[in-house]
A and B are shown apart, each in its own frame.
Chain A
Amino acid sequence: MMKLSIGPIQYFWERQQVLDFYQQAADSAAEIIYLGEVICSKRRLVKLEDWLAIGKELKQSGKEVLLSSLTLLEAASEMASLKKLCRNESFMVEANDISAVQLLSGAGKDFVTGPSFNIYNGRALKLLAGKGLKRWVLPVELGLDTLKDLQALRPDGLETEVFALGRLPLAYSARCYTARSHNLPKDDCQFKCIEYPDGRMLATQEAEEFLILNGIQTQSALTHQVLDQLPELGALGVDVLRISPQHDGTLEIIEIFDAARKGGDLEPLTEKLLKLLPLGACNGYIKDQAGMDYESQQIA
């Protein structure tokens, strides 16, 4: 049976909210939990020491815990934090940037790569497996056909994870778009992200809700979900399905995926899932189409 993981929280949440979330996650059906700040080094309500403490508790609840690294590194202070993260002796690290891969492989440590780390072919997979890669997340823009080819080329012992639900991580910038939307520079952002626990909506001039501003990250406004494809993903030997946390309903979403992986009827599960998404669903990427497209066999 495919395992379920909870990806790192992409947004800036209040400290108590983060603590509450993982307390609930401890009792969820997810087997793997990724912890840490992956977007902005200025978000410091939960520090490395806190993540380690949360991780320890989750581990005692039987979860596999990993620490996720920052996706875009710019400042020297961010490199110092990354080095500290990679030196931790408690948990494996999800590398979201090549710098983390270099640090971890240099120290002889195994690692996982996240959804914004570019692995598009078998040769890259093989080389990284030789460096200590134990699990990798399929880049979100790739679909089932490429996944099938990559699974055939996958080195022995390497696990494959698929970004199964969440607003898609689409881009990263030096510029903070949430601050910009408040007419503030990044250096004086006033931590505006905290006001948007699911990110800030960007719509077209026709009021079509299109993208989400989440600090320096841009996400899809629609929530990518692959419930329909669970049987195919299972047949292709995918090991882990990742659920990316949203402000409300993440635990219910995990229950739905848990039921689905155990062979539950996808139609009522899909119907239930769609009601939990902040805006609506998309699944184009998994079918090699535009990421924003949506087509489901369950609900016309």
Chain B
Amino acid sequence: MHALVAVDWHVIWQQVFHPNNVFFRTLWATVYISIVSQAAGVLLGLLAALARMSRFAPFRWISGVYVWIFRGTPLLVQIFYVYFAFSWPTLHFGFWTVTDAALAGIVALSINEGAYMREIIRAGIDSVDRGQMEAAKSVGMTYGQAMRRIILPQAARVIVPPLGNEFNNMMKNTSLVYTIGVFEMFAYAEQNYSQFFIADYFLAIAVWYLLLTTIWTFIQAWIERRLGASERGDELSFRERLELAWNPMAAWARGTPHR
């Protein structure tokens, strides 16, 4: 008799501790697609946020329609449409090749992410006191200079925590581009599954996804600590920050001071 759930520990062990080169290629694909898409998403979100606050009404409308459409439709639909409606080139950077599907996937993920980032960035900018812009202008800064040097650095403290969550989601959402033929981590597991019918390949990549998101949690905590360090006298320790990032409720219950 089989146990109801039989875990093939051999496969798990091998895939987690002795992965082959093909796996590493797919891991790299997942990582670079996440990073590039998130970075482009932040830029798009910033542009859309600035457009949203523009004095020129058509910019505000475009920004509104953008968010309305891309937050209101499924990411998977967007990925398929972007891939099949346009023809994408395959890019070569030395040893590194970005396939047409990967490029389309990055574009779709970026545009989708930008729509979510717009709200986050706008909330961040709104959180900065209005007097800051006036003070910056009074010493002769233009709007752009004031944004870059005074407003955005302060908004960053508010933007970074939700941005971290977005990136966490992004790393997991990249698995969707498997559907248009990008050979990334999920595609690797799926391919092995359909060859050997061993579901543990999925479990193994789940471990890898978990590893990626956990590493990110640490990086995020470090960034947040650095951003918050300057202006607070009652600075949290690194451990408290991690705890806060990891489990805010528990940190709160233990009486860790927070903003």
Q: Is A bound to B? A: no
- Write the residues of chain A forming the contact surface with B, with a CB cutoff of 8 angstroms: none
- Write the residues of chain B forming the contact surface with A, with a CB cutoff of 8 angstroms: none
